[in-house]
């Protein structure tokens, strides 16, 4: 169990590398007992932000705090925050068991059973005495997670933890992250696998070009997005006119799919009623619920088009 709860706070954080502005006035908060998905395109500033949080990078301006304190001011850093920011950093000739023995001792944890607990938790017990140099990427990801958990920290910062995992491993990770959050920890997960983030995250933070795009509970983000209706008809021009007359937005999918239309701001039954009243045949009609990937792409596009980024 965790020793206590600690929030992650990023306030007006800015980090420049020469002429490159990696993080630009970023602010957000991740709460204990919840999984926060930290999302953004490549180069958005996610990894830099995480590295600032654990003291590997010094900010140009602003603050990054864990439990109200910057990393360098923590009384017990290993027991407060654990991080898995890459799948490397392991001595290839050392076994997983020996690696964790070193890590736990460095963290001041002398419990003789702790290493075995960690190996079991992350599913590496059967390969504990194999050299890490022969591990797959997925196995190294599991070992990185065990390393982050070595001192039973209150906060976990994980950068692309699903990278290299097979479907079974991803399903395991999903359940494990939920378990960690439900035990009171603050879990921050940076990932490109948005479908997986959507199945585990409570809150979402989206950044682009180093700036905040949106921070909100996942259910709030999804609730504020309109459903989309996809319809196929042999008379797309007629249906476009009929929908426009009802002030319903619709557009073609493209020249390769002339009979398919994308409708927003109306339900499937609404579209079907419009088509029926106009005597237009419909060959296919489906209502798509918004998912995290849709929300992510729309918010990034809107922020860029609106000049916010």
Q: Are residues 266 and 148 in the same domain?
A: no
pLDDT tens by residue, 174-212: 999 999 999 999 999 998 889 889 999 999 999 999 999
Closest to 209 in 3D by CA, of 139, 95, 304, 116: 304
Q: Are residues 245 and 194 in the same domain?
A: no
Residue 302 covered by a domain: no
Q: Are residues 153 and 270 in the same domain?
A: no
Q: Are residues 66 and 151 in the same domain?
A: yes
Q: Are residues 282 and 133 in the same domain?
A: no
Mean pLDDT of 129-152: 95
Q: Are residues 278 and 153 in the same domain?
A: no
228: helix, strand or coil = strand
Residue 297 covered by a domain: no
pLDDT tens by residue, 144-179: 999 999 999 999 999 999 988 999 999 999 999 999
Q: Are residues 143 and 242 in the same domain?
A: no
Structure token pair of residue 94: 């050392």
- Percentage of the chain modeled with pLDDT above 90: 79
Structurally, the chain folds into a number of domains equal to: 2
DSSP state string for 166-215: -HHHHHHHHHHHHHHHHTT-EEEEE-S-HHHHHHH-SEEEEEETTEEEEE
Q: Are residues 29 and 141 in the same domain?
A: yes
Q: From CA 253, how far away is CA 259, in angstroms rounded?
A: 8
Q: Are residues 176 and 282 in the same domain?
A: no
CB-count burial class (<10 Å; 0-12, 13-18, 19+) for 151: buried
Q: Looking at residue 285, which CATH number applies to its domain?
A: 3.30.70
Q: What range does the domain containing 207 cover?
A: 8-218
Mean pLDDT of 255-267: 88
Q: From CA 299, how far away is CA 305, in angstroms rounded?
A: 10
Q: Are residues 181 and 276 in the same domain?
A: no
């Amino acid at each position: 169990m965790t020793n206590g709860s600690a929030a992650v706070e990023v306030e007006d954080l800015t980090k420049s590398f020469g002429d490159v502005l990696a993080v630009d006035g970023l602010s957000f908060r991740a709460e204990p007992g919840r999984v926060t998905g930290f999302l953004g395109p490549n180069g958005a500033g996610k990894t830099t932000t995480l590295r600032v949080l654990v003291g590997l990078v010094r900010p140009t301006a602003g603050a990054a705090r864990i439990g109200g304190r910057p990393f360098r001011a923590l009384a017990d850093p290993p027991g407060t925050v654990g991080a898995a920011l890459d799948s490397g950093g392991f001595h290839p000739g050392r076994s997983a068991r020996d690696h964790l023995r070193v890590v736990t001792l460095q963290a001041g944890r002398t419990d003789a059973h702790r290493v075995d607990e960690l190996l079991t938790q992350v599913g590496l017990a059967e390969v504990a005495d194999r050299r890490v140099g022969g591990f797959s990427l997925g196995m190294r990801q599991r070992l990185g997670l065990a390393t982050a958990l070595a001192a039973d920290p209150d906060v976990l910062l994980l950068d692309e933890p699903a990278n290299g995992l097979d479907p079974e491993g991803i399903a395991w990770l999903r359940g494990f992250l939920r378990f960690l959050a439900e035990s009171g920890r603050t879990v921050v997960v940076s990932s490109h696998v948005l479908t997986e983030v959507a199945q585990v995250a409570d809150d979402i933070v989206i950044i682009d070009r180093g700036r905040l795009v949106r921070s909100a509970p996942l259910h709030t983000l999804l609730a504020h997005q309109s459903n989309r209706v996809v319809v196929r008809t042999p008379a797309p021009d007629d249906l476009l006119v009929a929908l426009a007359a009802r002030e319903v937005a619709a557009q073609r999918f493209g020249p390769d799919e002339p009979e398919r239309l994308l409708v927003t701001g109306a339900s499937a039954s609404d579209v079907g009623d419009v088509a029926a009243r106009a005597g237009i045949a419909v060959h296919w009609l489906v209502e798509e619920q918004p998912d995290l990937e849709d929300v992510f792409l729309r918010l990034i596009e809107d922020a860029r088009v609106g000049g916010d980024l």
